[in-house]
Structure 1
Amino acid sequence: MRREKPQSLLDYAPIAFPAIMLTVFFVIPFATMIAVSFFQREQAGFYTPAFQFANYERFISLFFANVLGFSLMLAITVAICCVLLAVPFTYLLARMSRKAQIVWLVALLSVLSLSEVIIGFAWSTLLSRTAGITNLLVAAGIMAEAKALLPSFGAVLTGMVYQAFPYTVLVLYPAIVRLDPTLTEAARTLGASPLKAFFTVVVPALRNTLTATLIMVFIFALGSYLLPQLLGRPQHWTLSVLITDQAIYQSNMPFAAAMAVFLVLVTLGLVALTVIAGRKGEAA
């Protein structure tokens, strides 16, 4: 079945509204942000039109290189942890009864309804000294006294994994449900253990889906803003936090725009990789 080429301008009408919305809410703001990123900052928080690379040259400094490196490392760690936890969980979920699947999916969707503010303050309470989970460990005799588990890198990682985990499961669920169960049964018949059958049959069959999921969670974690502030120290702040700090508190809009441009370009590049991985999966 061949797709006919558009014969007149009216044939482009269905994509006119999405194109206008994309232009108004993405292209124009992004172009403005690119222009501001080359402006020159003046005293008292003002900036004047110019064309200089000083704002991008600041990325070379050790401080901002550390912030960028930490942001990328944190996003990669969150993506790997989410996939490692979500793959076996979703595989077992797909093997449950239909009613049990519905209950778990509703529970995951309820987590998605929570805002980042609620998640941040909930985990700050759970990891605190006065009302945190360490009090249960003290009651069980595992710890001598309760202590706070935040601010720390572990607290930031835990909160971000908790926030991204439902998205990871919901992305993996359709692909795992469509897997032919006879493949694992054949592997078991040939003598493979359940664990070996999982890693030799299920994981290779989900290779493209896993790649796309890793990239999606990485993009999601890269833009995290509130959780690093609530659960971590200043050295645990991500690039998104630094952008807000430069734009609002430091009144350095050109440098904030330069960092935002870099973040958007990284995100768009990863989205392109996701699309490529999806097409390869369809071709396979």
Structure 2
Amino acid sequence: MRRTPPEKPADYLPIAFPAAMLGLFFVVPFAIMVAISFFERVQGGFYQPAFTLANYGRFLSAFFGEILVFSLFLAALVSAVCLVLGVPFTYLLTKLSRRVQVAWLIGLLGVLSLSEVIIGFAWSTLLSRTAGISNLFVALGLMQQPRAWTPGFAAVMTGLVYQAFPYTVLVLYPAFSRLDPSLGEAARTLGASPLRAFLTVIVPALRKTLIATFIIVFIFALGAYLLPQILGRPQHWTLSVLVTDQAIYQSNMPFAAAMAVFLVIASLVLVLLANMINRREPAS
């Protein structure tokens, strides 16, 4: 079938409602947030219309700049770990029987139904010294005494990867399910090992899906709020935590809006970069 461009206004009607919803629930709130980011805070926790760059200047200071870099690094690392774990897991999952696949998908959906608070305190208990898994390692003779792994960066990473892993698998699963099995068979017929066939044939064939999955997990991890507070120390808090702190507890809405603008811009830049990479790739 050949796609024909719209020729009259009535041809745009199918996308009119989604466009209206996007404008109402994203464009308008984002525009209001951008406007407030230039407002001036006044005494008493209020703010008034103005045009000042002081909020952005404060955000670009060393302290908040380090938090922005840490938030981007944490989100990228979580996305990379989820892909490294999720790609082979999803590929092997699609090789199982349909009944086993359904059971695994139901389990992953069950993880998605858990509250972030439940996940945070569950991992806080598992990584603690008194009731954590280190006691099991002591009983098995692998450790001399139990130890606490929380709060810490590793605990934050573990919680975020655990929470984001189901999203990774559910995004990858349709693409792996539709993958032509003859690709891997042809590579093995030509002498490639199963691992080499997977890395050189299967993974490149799904590069666009992998990029989309990375973006989804990155944006998800960039907005992490509760897990960094429950499982980490203040130096492990993300920018989302500080946005809430400035907006609610410090009553500095203009500065919180400026930080939130940076979060949205970072996500949009990542999406645009991925789109540029996909356009530059030659058609196969």
TM-score by length of 1: 0.92
**Larger CA deviation: 70-79 vs 15-24:** 15-24
Q: What is the CA distance between 1:78 and its match in structure 2?
A: 0.1
Aligned to 1:269: 269
Q: What is the CA distance between 1:87 and its match in structure 2?
A: 0.7
SS, match of residue 44 in structure 2? helix
**Larger CA deviation: 146-155 vs 20-29:** 20-29
Aligned to 1:202: 202
Q: What is the CA distance between 1:11 and its match in structure 2?
A: 5.5
Aligned to 1:146: 146
The aligned runs of 1:222-233 (5 Å cut-off) are 222-233=222-233
Q: What is the CA distance between 1:23 and its match in structure 2?
A: 2.8
Aligned to 1:60: 60
Aligned to 2:119: 119
Q: What is the CA distance between 1:205 and its match in structure 2?
A: 1.3
Q: Is the 8 A contact 1:82 1:168 kept in 2?
A: yes
State the distance in 1 between where 2:255 and 2:214 align. 29
Q: Deviations over 1:217-268 (max 9, x none)?
A: 1111111111101100000000100101111111111110001111112222
Aligned to 1:221: 221
Distance 1:28 1:97, change over 3 A: same
Q: Deviations over 1:100-141 (max 9, x none)?
A: 111111111111111211111111111112211111111111
Aligned to 2:192: 192
State the distance in 2 between where 1:20 and 1:201 align. 41
Distance 1:201 1:7, change over 3 A: closer
Aligned to 1:212: 212
SS, match of residue 96 in structure 1? coil
Q: Is the 8 A contact 1:223 1:240 kept in 2?
A: yes
Residue type matched to 1:60 in 2?
Answer: L
Q: What is the CA distance between 1:275 and its match in structure 2?
A: 5.1
Aligned to 2:135: 135
TM-score by length of 2: 0.92
* Structure 2 unmatched ranges of 5 or more: none
Percent pairwise identity = 68
Q: What is the CA distance between 1:181 and its match in structure 2?
A: 1.7
Distance 1:195 1:16, change over 3 A: closer
Q: Deviations over 1:197-231 (max 9, x none)?
A: 21121122122221221122111111111110110
Q: Is the 8 A contact 2:6 2:12 kept in 1?
A: no
Count of residue pairs the alignment pairs up: 283
Distance 1:118 1:275, change over 3 A: farther
Q: Root-mean-square deviation (CA), in Å? A: 2.0
* Structure 1 unmatched ranges of 5 or more: none
Residue type matched to 2:254 in 1?
Answer: P
2:90 matches 1:90: yes
Aligned to 1:5: 6
